[in-house]
Structure 1
Amino acid sequence: MFRWASSTSTISSGSTLSDQPFAIVIPARFASTRYPGKPLVPLNGKSLIQRSWEAAMAVPGCATVIIATDDERIAQAARAFGATVAMTPEACANGTERCAAALSAIADDIDIIVNLQGDAPLTPPWFITAIVARLVADAAAAMATPVVRATPAVHGRLLADQAAGRVGGTTAAVSAGGRALYFSKAVIPHVPEKQRGDPGLPVFLHIGAYAYRRAGLAAYVAAPVSALELLEGLEQLRFLDADLPVAVAEVDPRGRDMWELNNPQDIAPIEAALTALGIA
């Protein structure tokens, strides 16, 4: 995940928390290809999965938090610190499929399920409340997800990473009505060189959190795997390929660094960010 070095964004989500209850599911698997055993890696004395669970528990309005896993080691660790666990199939291809597999553990009167990724303990709580409110506001949407408008400095780094053959983050093209048009690991939209540096450009960095309706999750797992999803390595593209509307909430990081734990090198900056935020 791209690190937010800038704190100059003035974009607000413009959202208020709905009274509609929602659940948070944290998908977690042990057999990560890039970093096996990642959920149990310690961060300032607590495992990554516990840090993610505590972040979810701090989201206002959340009715329940469930850790969805296929691994008994993660399940045992989660139960030890008081979490509710749903055992899900090893065959789940991504976090969205794992959230769908955990639906039976969530009360039927809860229609909105949030996917808070288990490697992103620094996700701000207002990102979650913003996407829940956005989904409630768009009755036809199957899912809602947050984006942050890229500052000129961030846009420049994304373009530099792309020129060097690296993926600096996932970008999103968003319609005037606030719906996702496309997500890509390429930098979209194309911006002519003479227009680069404009802080109002519609260049949005996608943040990997999702709020789904139950029916949206059911439709997702019923849909065939998308060719675009496989090419880009982005699970959310299956929604668009299946013509399932995706609502977008533009949020303000308020200066936070958006680190995910993807590699051992990410431990130190995440620990430093936790300390800076006063999170024990």
Structure 2
Amino acid sequence: MKTVIFIPARYQSARFPGKPLAVLRGASGVSKSLIERSWNAAISVAGVSDVFVLTDDRRIEEASNAFGAQVLMTPATCRNGTERCAAAAELLQEEPDIIVNLQGDAPLTPPDYVEALVSAMIEDPAIGMATPVLRTAPEHLGKLQADRKAGRVGATTAVFAANHDALYFSKEVLPFYDNARQDAVPVFHHVGCYAYRPQTLKAYNSLPEGPLEKREGLEQLRFLEHGIPVRCVEVSSSGRAFWELNNPTDIPIIEDIMAKEGLV
């Protein structure tokens, strides 16, 4: 099974322009751009044939080439990472069996999250697309709730059926959870990573953007709105914290995590 990883990265962002080139300081004091840290996360995944940065911006291309990344230039008309992955897939000389979209704002994504997606798809050929979900610990849930209370659009939560096919993804904290309860937190943080079969990815650009995708700003909802299942693969934190860089206020949170976990 040939697997490739795509890292979509765009310079223009309503919430954080130039985000892929934002600098993050690691535990050693060394500073690297977000796109380089995302690349480092991608190349640590076992069993991957190739890793490519996808962009339409020459600044990101130059920065990526400087640390040795392969870059595929994709159209500026791509509205999200999945559209960019679909465009990049057309540029490959050989079609892979599985394409992974490791979004460039999640440098703390452990390699075993990606490996779990690929394993799930190898074990079940009926899965056309998969994405990881992480059960939130109370402290993690508190940060999600604080973001929403402050009016910040941050992490995404996932709700899924008994067979783990997604029912919905939202920027709201779903499902409702009473903090006074002492049971296991039923809120799952959606990790910004996807694995697709090539034919599932190819179908994406032919589908119209739906009202839920527009309202939430979540690209994966296009699949659900058109009846294409998205398998949620539960992963374990294994003691590691996970956070995405959605807003400038996330930089110190991620740097603090890297310092505590010794991530250079």
Give me the TM-score of the superposition, normalised by structure 1: 0.84
State the one-letter code of the partner of 1:35.
F
Give the root-mean-square deviation of aligned CA atoms: 2.3
Deviations 1:127-186 (A, max 9, x none): 110111122233223210011123345446645655665556322111111211111222
| TM-superposed deviation, 1:94 | 0.4
Which one of the candidate residues 186, 196, 201 is aligned to 2:181? 196
* Structure 1 unmatched ranges of 5 or more: 1-19
Q: Please state whether the residue corresponding to 1:264 is helix, strand or coil.
A: coil
Answer with 64-73 or 159-168: which moved more.
159-168
Alignment of 1:178 onto 2:164: yes
Q: Please state whether the residue corresponding to 2:125 is helix, strand or coil.
A: coil
Q: Please state whether the residue corresponding to 1:219 is helix, strand or coil.
A: helix
The aligned residue for residue 27 of structure 2 is none
Alignment of 1:146 onto 2:132: yes
Which one of the candidate residues 225, 241, 250 is aligned to 2:209? 225
The aligned residue for residue 214 of structure 1 is 198
Alignment of 1:240 onto 2:215: no
Work out whether residues 154 and 246 of structure 2, in 8 Å CA contact, stay in contact via their aligned partners in 1: no
| TM-superposed deviation, 1:190 | 3.7
Aligned structure 1 segments of 4 or more residues deviating by more than 4 angstroms:
152-168
| Aligned-partner Cα distance in 2 for 1:177–1:146 | 14
Deviations 1:229-261 (A, max 9, x none): 011111110011111111111001123222222
The aligned residue for residue 4 of structure 2 is 23
| TM-superposed deviation, 1:26 | 0.4
| Aligned-partner Cα distance in 2 for 1:273–1:153 | 13
Q: 1:158 to 1:265 in 2, by over 3 A?
A: closer
State the one-letter code of the partner of 2:22.
V
Work out whether residues 173 and 202 of structure 1, in 8 Å CA contact, stay in contact via their aligned partners in 2: no
Alignment of 1:57 onto 2:43: yes
> Number of paired residues?
259
The aligned residue for residue 91 of structure 1 is 77
| Aligned-partner Cα distance in 1 for 2:138–2:244 | 22
Deviations 1:90-148 (A, max 9, x none): 11010111111111343524121111111211111111101111222332232100111
The aligned residue for residue 252 of structure 2 is 268
| Aligned-partner Cα distance in 2 for 1:33–1:167 | 12
| Aligned-partner Cα distance in 1 for 2:172–2:14 | 22
Give me the TM-score of the superposition, normalised by structure 2: 0.88
Q: Please state whether the residue corresponding to 1:132 is helix, strand or coil.
A: helix
State the one-letter code of the partner of 1:274.
M
* Structure 2 unmatched ranges of 5 or more: 25-29
Which one of the candidate residues 20, 23, 29 is aligned to 1:42? 23
Identity across the alignment (%)? 54
The aligned residue for residue 99 of structure 2 is 113
Q: Please state whether the residue corresponding to 2:49 is helix, strand or coil.
A: strand
| TM-superposed deviation, 1:198 | 1.1
Work out whether residues 83 and 205 of structure 2, in 8 Å CA contact, stay in contact via their aligned partners in 1: yes
Work out whether residues 135 and 247 of structure 1, in 8 Å CA contact, stay in contact via their aligned partners in 2: no
State the one-letter code of the partner of 1:244.
I
Deviations 1:194-221 (A, max 9, x none): 983311x543221111111111111111
Q: 1:155 to 1:64 in 2, by over 3 A?
A: same
